[in-house]
Amino acid sequence: MRASSNFSRFKQILEFASLLLVILVSSLVLFTLWSRSRSSPGTADIKPKGIATTEALVGKKLKLPEARIGPGSLSVVFVLSTKCKYCESFVPLYKKLITAEKNSNSTSKLPSQPKVQIVLAFSDQPSEVNHFLIKHDLNPSTVVYKSLADLGVAGTPTMLIVNPESEIEQAVLGRLTKSQIDLLVRRVKGFQSNFDLSPSTLE
């Protein structure tokens, strides 16, 4: 009788330990998945099928009639999503570029003078975009609404530098490094010298 009681108690302990092990393993798996999602490269949108890599975009024509990309202007297009954490982290960069764009273009005396334009392209609904712009006090001259597939990019944030022939010169997916920001500034200032920016102002 006593042996049977001990066996029953041992069985209960074993079942409880097994249950605890299952809970611990499940918790570990969930934590691992959560950690990986937090450390992703900042792309809020899943890569659409058939989309080229950023390297493959270079040299291609960007069709964006809403932004008046083409002769006489160098365009810097930021493809963003309101759900993208890295898109938000670069709000100070967008602000300074937008301010410099408006200041430099307002000092151009002739319509034929080259212009730099900053374009924010969103893959979200206009209502979500308006909330994002108001929240971050952004007042861009040009905002367009396009899906990632329409733009031909793999995720957000993506930066595209588009020359006056509407060809993509540079495409960067994810966080911009300091060297990439420096390259952006040099290209913009080389195209329009009165674009009042220096790499140090964008850090």
For domain 54-202, the CATH superfamily is Glutaredoxin (3.40.30.10)
* Total-model pTM: 0.70
Task: Note the pLDDT of residue 162.
Answer: 92
pLDDT digits (tens, 9 = 90+) for 53-78: 577 888 899 988 888 887 888 999 99
pLDDT digits (tens, 9 = 90+) for 169-196: 989 888 888 888 888 888 888 888 777 7
Q: Where do the domains of the chain lie?
A: 1-39, 54-202
pLDDT digits (tens, 9 = 90+) for 102-136: 887 666 555 566 788 899 999 899 999 999 999 99
With CA atoms as reference, report the closest residue to 151 among 41, 45, 71: 45
CA distances from 187 to 181, 197, 199 (A): 10, 11, 12
